Amino acid sequence: MRAYTMRNFLKHLFGKNVKPVLSEPTREEVTTATSIETEPTTPPTATGDLNAVVVSDIGNVRKNNEDTGLFVRLADEGIRRFKGYLLLVADGMGGHLAGEIASQMAAEIVSREYFQHRDTAEKSLMRAFQLANRQIYDESHQHETFRGMGTTCTAVVVHNEQIVFAHVGDSRAYLFKNGQLIQLTEDHTYVQELIKKGEIDEATAARHPERNVLTQAMGTKPDLRVDIGRCILPFDPGDRLLLCSDGLYEYCREDDLIRLLQQESLPNVAAELVQMAKNRGGHDNITVVLAERTTTSVQPPPRETREIEVPITLDYELPHE
């Protein structure tokens, strides 16, 4: 079994003459923790709730964890109905803890800014990514210790049955639907550019010595190109979302992901994914954010241990206009 792109998935189901199932990602110029979750004060509604688990592991080799994983379920049901849920993975880079700071800044700024505006999910995510990029870039130039720091950032908003994402770097978001694994994001890497040009295939890319070279990262320059996409396939009850850093997918094959994602328990699936990556090398940090939509009145999962030291405000109020 293999992971489908969004367009190939619908071709697999309905034949060749289908429209794209993913709105073409828009690329806009931007000039401008490690796991945490809030708990709802009201039970899930009949329209469906989102259960999620966040696991971030240092791996077998690294001395510190430069990944940040985030799931935000706001306690205020009114805001939650309007803005949905936010999931995020960021994989930082830079020495002397700079990568850790960059990924935590991305998580803090994107999660805060997304919920503070009444705009559409796409506009809110773009605004949040713009601000995060600029602040990380400015921070790296104000402190010599942080010079050159940056981070990947993949954020997914689930609003009712809709999935909207913003993405930069090589962390990934997958939709697991009807037993098929669909990669929503496209890696911003040198080897991905070679694949698109037809110069190498995916098997060669997986072994390429420069497979981890990024073409885009948050905070490394003042201008940033961000992919914004909306998945036309609905996020139905029983479907699952997987966000992960490259520390997972570098070691876990697509058929491994498919096999484990079919298991029932979210915490067990997340733990097994991380352990598999560690058993096969674990040379990088490993972060998994795993979510599924439900329609039953189940209790939310336990609050994740707060590992992030950067202050994060989660009780947002939408500004009055």
Q: In the block, which residue shows the tokens 């104000």?
A: 142
Q: Where are the domains of the chain?
A: 3-47+63-244
Residue 3 has what pLDDT?
55
What is the secondary structure of 90-142 as a DSSP string?
EEEE-TTTHHHHHHHHHHHHHHHHHHT--S-HHHHHHHHHHHHHHHHHHHHHH
pTM higher than the cut 0.85: no
Residue 296 has what pLDDT?
53
Residue 49 has what pLDDT?
86
CA-nearest of 289, 40, 317, 1 to 165 is 289
Residue 48 has what pLDDT?
62
Residue 256's contacts (CB-CB under 8 Å, 6 or more residues apart) are: 276
Residue 97 has what pLDDT?
82
CA dist 41 and 77 (Å) reads 8
Residue 1's contacts (CB-CB under 8 Å, 6 or more residues apart) are: 181, 254, 255, 258
- What is 3-47+63-244's CATH number, 1.10.3210.10, 3.20.20.80, 3.30.1060.10, 3.60.40.10? 3.60.40.10
CA dist 51 and 156 (Å) reads 14
CA dist 164 and 184 (Å) reads 10
pLDDT means over runs of 10, the chain (321 residues)? 44 38 33 32 46 98 96 92 97 89 98 94 97 97 91 97 97 98 96 86 80 92 95 95 98 96 97 98 98 68 35 34 37
Residue 203 has what pLDDT?
80
